[in-house]
Amino acid sequence: MVKKTASKWLRLTAIACVAAAAFGSTAQAQTTTLRLSTYVNEVDPRFEGFKKFAELVNTKTAGRVKVQIFGSSTLHGWSEGIDAMVGGVADISWVSADKRLPCYRVTSLYPVAIDMKKQLPLDAAYAALITPEANKAGLVPLINSNYSYDQEWWFKKPNTDIGKIDGQLVRSIGPLVSMMIETWGGKPVFIAPKEVFQSAERGVVDGINMGVATYSAWKLWGVMPHMVKANLFYGNIQYMISKRKFDALSPADQRALQAAAAESEAWLKPVYEKWVDDSIADAVKQGGTVSTITADKRKALLASVTGKWDAEVNAGCGPELAGKVRALFNQNAL
């Protein structure tokens, strides 16, 4: 009787172990890890924003979805975001100007002075407008960026008139900036963020167009310390997620991911803006200079490029979507 009881106990224990192992295997299989690729380094406040996003995703999905962050372009280069996501190298990445997203390519940077108090709802509305185009390319817009606040200019010489940069080589991040530089007499040069320091230090470029946060995080004030604060852009170089990866999530986890993105944007905005302002103030203390332009000068600079760029927007977006994008920007302009 003792032997039968012991044997029965062993069988029940074995069954329990198998069941536990199966449960553990199922739980493990249901856990999804998303690889988030960014060009920003760990000094940049946006890196903290991505960490906040990852924490929120983990909490809102009860650990079913985890986000792994790869900074400083360690997964892929500046222009390779779509290829990286389509090819499975990254699951979430920034998306620069790409011809596979013709409307996004010409509107993710747009010549307009934005009222920053309206940035979060503006970004959300813009993302909604370009979502159908992104879906066709196998992507889903997820996290809006902060480019509107700090996309600016630096030169070797102080008080440079950016409307007259004749002959100077200026770093560009995309087609709009290149057109601006050419309109104002300069020559655009594409340089990835990680390579800008060496290019400035070695004299490859005479000027740089870049976000203040990126510029400061990469310690570029030391090699090109003279900034022109112009406020000429709406900028939203979005972070998108592979639609294949997004669609594989449950509807509840999809909603949780999007909620985490929106919440992390709202959390980051004041942190980011304070860090940018503090970085500029610190650079000035170290010998850097910041010159601003008048409202009339800004209006003239924008007028010199908007007509040309609107032709690109019409071609890239089509008349109907182009009109909606312009209307949105105009409603949120200063």
Asked whether 35 and 75 are in contact (CB, 8 A), the reply is yes
- As a whole number of angstroms, the distance between CA 327 and CA 253 comes to 33
**Residue 117: DSSP 8-state:** G
Compute how many other C-beta atoms are within 10 angstroms of the C-beta atom of residue 209. 27
Percent of the chain at pLDDT above 90? Answer: 87
109 vs 19: which has the higher pLDDT: 109
pLDDT band at 7, cuts 50/70/90? low
DSSP three-state, residue 239: strand
pLDDT band at 18, cuts 50/70/90? very low
Sequence-distant (≥ 6) Cβ neighbours of residue 101 within 8 angstroms: 82, 95, 130, 133, 134, 137, 139
DSSP three-state, residue 164: coil
pTM of the model: 0.89
Compute how many other C-beta atoms are within 10 angstroms of the C-beta atom of residue 25. 10
Asked whether 73 and 39 are in contact (CB, 8 A), the reply is yes
Which pLDDT score is estimated for 1? 52
**Helices marked H in 171-250:** 175-183, 196-201, 212-217, 243-248
Compute how many other C-beta atoms are within 10 angstroms of the C-beta atom of residue 187. 16
224 vs 4: which has the higher pLDDT: 224
Asked whether 157 and 195 are in contact (CB, 8 A), the reply is no
pLDDT tens sequence across 36-76: 999 999 999 999 999 999 999 999 999 999 999 999 999 99
Asked whether 316 and 103 are in contact (CB, 8 A), the reply is yes
pLDDT tens sequence across 231-289: 999 999 999 999 999 999 999 999 999 999 999 999 999 999 999 999 999 999 999 99
pLDDT tens sequence across 277-321: 999 999 999 999 999 999 999 999 999 999 999 999 999 999 999
